[in-house]
Structure 1
Amino acid sequence: MWDNAGAMRRITRWLFTLVLLLLLGAGAVWLYHSPHFPIKQVRIEGDLQRVSSSQLQTVAQKYIRGNIFSADLNGAQQAFEKLPWIAKAQVRRRLPDVVEIHLVERIPVARWQGAGLVDSDGRVFQAATDETFPEFDGQPGTGATMVAHYAEFSRILEPQGLAIAKLEYTPRSAWSVVLTNGVNVRLGREQETPRLQRFAAVWPGILRAQQGNLDYVDMRYKDGFAVRHRNRDEETGATAQAEASGAAAENQQ
């Protein structure tokens, strides 16, 4: 074999590669434990309104220590994303001595069935706040759909000076809206947006004057709507067809 020039060249290449790998490994270990390359700056970026500086400092001190190579950036990123108000975190090293942290804070939209909050992406999370939000009452996994409907419904109601106190989405996929004035608007399982638009159109001329005594307004009729007053002694239909179609509307709930 020692007289085989080809075999000797292959062995020499393997030995050279092994030595190179050992040197690279030794260099990496030295860099990891070296007192040189200290972290001189930690930059935190993001529009943060609700995350406390003490929470951020606790995570940074635990994971971003040592030198720029030994700092546990993956651990820091996971720890930041476990904070209640953080939706997403990115942690990067910028040689020679800077760690950059970019944080995206959750934007709360509503309270979820009285426990927890719903963010703008429709994700339910637990966080402490005394802020006032509307309430969502829906099924698990429907947060994103409810956030989209809430935004759309709010745009329809806002020109009339109306706001949503509670948005309901039943197991049978029926929608209803409870306004901040206490009026319940029943929209049913289909055409919920056109029905709410119709409600907003008739609100100023017919319903606004009665709002103090309105229990609900049922918009689940093809050409009209029905109203029940809070004394529950009287129910009126906006059209003859609405009165004739009451049973059919109840089946849409």
Structure 2
Amino acid sequence: MRMAGAVRGGSRVQAKPPVKAPAKAPRGGPARRSAKAAREPHGLSPKLALIGAAAILALALSVTLATGHRGERLASNIGGALDNRFAAAGFRVRHVEVQGASPMARADIARAAGLYQDQPLLGLDLNALRRHVEQVGWVKEARIVRLLPDTLVVAVVERHQLAVWQHAGRQHVIDEHGKVIPEADARRFTALPLVVGEGGAEHAPEILPVIAQRPKLMGRMDALVRVDDRRWDLRMKDGSLIQLPASGEDDALMQLERLDQRSRILELGFDRIDLRNPDVVAVRPRQRLPLSPPPVAGA
């Protein structure tokens, strides 16, 4: 119901609206709220930092798609800011673990990776880093893994060192595919078989496994010599020579094994064994020096 205003002396006066009660202040008051805010940490936790990163990166991608090259520059600037923000939150490179590499290969892999202490961890381009590591001659393939908050794992599959190849007065270490490993110092691989001659590196992976199946022969061999880039000669430690055919090396070596079982030729010694003809095995005995006649009494 609407109430009429009171009339006094012919003028109309409106009634005053009821006065509202003041709102209650929150418990604790301003002083308590300020103290609580002072106790709260100012930095982002790692979890919140990652959540924020996902949102900002999504925004950067949207801007890139919408604005082209300007968006790329903006996204790059945002990425740099994120790197610094994450680094401040503790996401820095503090530890690098190289797995699967020999001690001689580790230094070259670390040099190719180009990592440094306290580098922002989340800003690393893992694909580019993997490509750099795989350019190292020791490395067959590589895999890079981030372990938050501060560790980077470089896991590699190292090339198998097959032999030392000597050609044109120089020596190189080759892998199981006949490829040269540039970083490997041949002087440190004296236990590897020695392959000599043009074409030796390319064809060594074909012949060395065949010889390795015969440990007695392998142990007496000094070098594997490529002849006219067609066939092989086995130079033995005692100076003797075994001539293999251009094809069918395995069959020829089986003939040699049968000959050795009958006559122990590898132990007794020889000057040359010619296995180039599959129908005939030609053996040249080692030349014996003539014995000097006994001295004549009273001479």
Q: Please, what TM-score do these two structures have when normalized by structure 1?
A: 0.67
Post-superposition CA distance 1:121-157 (Å, at most 9, x none): 32123423153322112434x53531231111220x2
Q: What residue ranges of structure 1 are gaps of 5+ in the alignment?
A: 1-12, 234-253
Q: How does 1:130-145 map to 2 (within 5 A)?
A: 131-140=190-199, 143-145=201-203
- Per-residue deviation, residues 47-92 of structure 1 (Å, max 9, x unmatched): 525335x555555664575211334656654554565644444334
Find 1:164's aligned residue among 217, 221, 234: 221
Contact 2:197/2:225, CA 8 A, preserved across alignment: yes
Task: Please list the CA deviations of residues 193-212 of structure 1 after superposition, one character each: whole Å capped at 9, or x if unmatched.
Answer: 10111111111212527733
Larger RCO of the pair (alpha carbons < 8 Å, separation 6+): 1
1:28 aligned to 2:79? yes
Question: Measured at CA, do residues 21 and 97 of structure 1 come closer, stay the same or move farther in structure 2, by a change above 3 Å?
Answer: farther
**Counterpart in 1 of 2:122?**
69
1:39 maps to 2:90: no
Which one of 255, 265, 283 corresponds to residue 198 of structure 1? 255
Kept after mapping to 2: 8 A contact 1:184/1:217: yes
One-letter amino acid of the structure 1 residue matched with residue 193 of structure 2: P
Let me know the Cα RMSD of the aligned residues: 3.8
Task: Map Cα deviations across residues 223-242 of structure 1 (whole Å, 9 max, x no partner).
Answer: 22111233299xxxxxxxxx
Query: What percentage of residue pairs aligned between the two structures are identical?
Result: 21
Q: Structure 1 residues 96-105 or 158-167, which shifts more?
A: 158-167
CA drift at 1:217: 0.2
* CA contact 1:77–1:89 (8 Å) conserved in 2: yes
User: What is the alpha-carbon distance in structure 2 between the residues aligned to residue 57 and residue 63 of structure 1?
Assistant: 10
**Structure 2 alignment gaps of length 5 or more:** 1-61, 290-299
TM score, norm. by length of structure 2: 0.58
Distance in structure 1 (CA, Å) of the matches to 2:249 and 2:65: 73
Residues matched between the structures, number: 217
Are the structure 2 counterparts of residues 223 and 18 from structure 1 closer, same or farther at C-alpha, using a change threshold of 3 Å?
Answer: closer
* Equivalent in the alignment of 1:101: 154
Cα distance in 2 for residues equivalent to 1:15 and 1:162: 65
After superposition, where does 1:206-221 map in structure 2 within 5 Å? 206-208=263-265, 211-212=268-269, 214-221=270-277
For the 8 Å contact 1:63–1:71, the answer to whether it is kept is no
**1:228 paired to 2:287:** no
Give the match's secondary structure for 2:105: coil
1:172 and 1:16 map into 2 onto residues whose CA distance is: 58
Q: Which has the larger radius of gyration?
A: 2
Q: Does 1:111 align with 2:111?
A: no
